[in-house]
């Protein structure tokens, strides 16, 4: 765990995980780790020979919430019913970019200290992380119904009840203001229990 330390040039933090369970598959190994010149022919074959001797690490970092990051309706593309399709609008905060580079260096240090003969970064060398770099993954989505005290800047109150629709309650990952910098499953479960207890107590008092 790397807690927040502004001396690093960014705030917030995250964790380093062993990521073989997600990425140690032949096709993913080829697409994610092979440099562009090694994605076909002899270069790809040489790269794939090391598949069984490769270890994958990842940094799970907490992104800062940005009002501009949202799910919105596409102004041009419509589905078969004629309705606008949803699209992801996302840019990277400068703090997120700095954090990604810092974790990249820490992961390189871990790999070399463990005796790695070769370290490959993802994104591959030559593809820099910028403010408009596309999202690399979407395993744990958060924030589209975030909690907060102010109805102007949040969808739900602290008990995950809608500010605008009193009989609407939400208790999944969308309530989180940020992605927290670690896998959220247990936090989602704990919050769901918290919300359920409050809901039951309010129902018993007939105050829903």
Token match 């102010």: residue? Answer: 150
- How many angstroms separate the CA atoms of 77 and 186, rounded? 37
Report yes or no on 30 lying in a domain: no
Report yes or no on 194 lying in a domain: yes
Quickly count: other Cβ atoms within 10 Å of residue 87's Cβ: 14
CB-CB contact of 33 with 47 (8 Å): yes
Report yes or no on 16 lying in a domain: no
Report yes or no on 11 lying in a domain: no
* Averaged pLDDT, 69-92: 92
Report yes or no on 55 lying in a domain: no
Report yes or no on 46 lying in a domain: no
Report yes or no on 173 lying in a domain: yes
Tell me the H-state helices in the chain.
20-23, 26-33, 41-49, 94-113, 185-204
pLDDT tens column, 125-175: 444 555 555 555 566 778 889 999 999 989 999 999 999 999 999 999 999
Band of pLDDT at residue 124, cut at 50, 70 and 90: very low
- Domain span at residue 171? 140-208
The number of distinct structural domains making up the chain is 1
Report yes or no on 66 lying in a domain: no
Q: 76 in helix, strand or coil?
A: strand
pTM of the model: 0.74
User: Which entry of 2, 140, 142, 163 is annotated as an active-site residue?
Assistant: 140
HSE toward the beta carbon, residue 20, CA cutoff 13 A: 6
- Is 140 annotated in the active site? yes
Of 94-98, 108-112, 136-140, 149-153, which range is least confident?
136-140
């Amino acid at each position: 765990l790397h807690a927040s330390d502004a001396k690093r040039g960014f705030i917030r933090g995250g964790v380093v995980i062993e990521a073989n369970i997600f990425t140690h598959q032949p096709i993913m190994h080829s697409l994610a780790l092979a440099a562009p010149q090694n994605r076909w022919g002899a270069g790809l074959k040489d790269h794939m020979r090391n598949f069984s001797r490769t270890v994958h690490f990842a940094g799970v970092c907490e992104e800062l919430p940005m009002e501009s990051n949202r799910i919105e309706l596409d102004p041009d593309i419509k589905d078969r019913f004629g309705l606008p399709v949803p699209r992801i609008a996302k840019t990277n905060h400068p703090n997120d970019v700095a954090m990604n580079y810092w974790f990249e260096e820490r992961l390189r240090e871990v790999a070399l200290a463990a005796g790695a003969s070769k370290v490959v970064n993802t994104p591959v060398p030559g593809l820099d992380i910028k403010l408009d770099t596309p999202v690399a993954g979407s395993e744990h989505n958060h924030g589209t119904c975030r909690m907060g005290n102010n109805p102007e800047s949040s969808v739900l109150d602290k008990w995950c009840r809608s500010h605008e629709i009193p009989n609407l309650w939400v208790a999944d990952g969308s309530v989180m203001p940020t992605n927290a910098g670690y896998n959220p499953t247990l936090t989602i479960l704990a919050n769901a229990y918290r919300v359920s207890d409050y809901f039951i107590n309010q129902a018993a008092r007939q105050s829903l």
